[in-house]
Amino acid sequence: MALRFVQDLSLRPMGETKPDEVPTSEIVLKGQPTGTIIGGVVLECAVARNGSYLLFTTDDVPFEEMLGIHLLDSELREIDRARIGGIYSTGTFGGARLVGSSEIDFQFLGEGTTWTVEILDQPTWRIPFFPEAPFVWHPFGFSRHFKVRCDPKPGTNGK
């Protein structure tokens, strides 16, 4: 089944956080709180595929924005996540475009850089010590449910 944009999902920020913590929000689906808490306070984009949801969130921190990518199953349990960004890096999410049945392209960090997230049909093996793309951080683990790649690499300005 192909990806589709979701309009009936939103976030409700959970309040104050400490400076070294990622702000969190509760997912609201069709106007109803779900009890599911994820990192981020601004929902940049939400897509659905085969009953699962892929959410893109930012923290609303000027001059040091991070992009959270959250894959949720049909029960809204987070099954995989990643963050794109770094210290003193600023990105603006935009240009989200669905590609085929399992990929979404967008812009965030790096002028002229296209980021792509591919949702995998089955979890695959990953080596937790090596990022799959520059500025991409996954929690420690040996499997992943989506891949993140970018082209060209951030900082190359397309050259």
Closest CA to 55 of 33, 75, 78: 78
pLDDT at 159 (0 to 100): 44
pLDDT at 109 (0 to 100): 85
pLDDT at 1 (0 to 100): 64
pLDDT at 158 (0 to 100): 47
pLDDT at 155 (0 to 100): 60
pTM higher than 0.85, yes or no?
A: yes
The residues near 137 (Cβ < 8 Å, ≥ 6 apart) are: 82, 83, 84, 131
Cα(54)–Cα(45) distance, rounded to whole angstroms? 8
Cα(151)–Cα(158) distance, rounded to whole angstroms? 8
Mean pLDDT in runs of 10 for the chain (159 residues)?
90 82 91 94 94 93 84 95 83 91 91 90 81 82 89 60
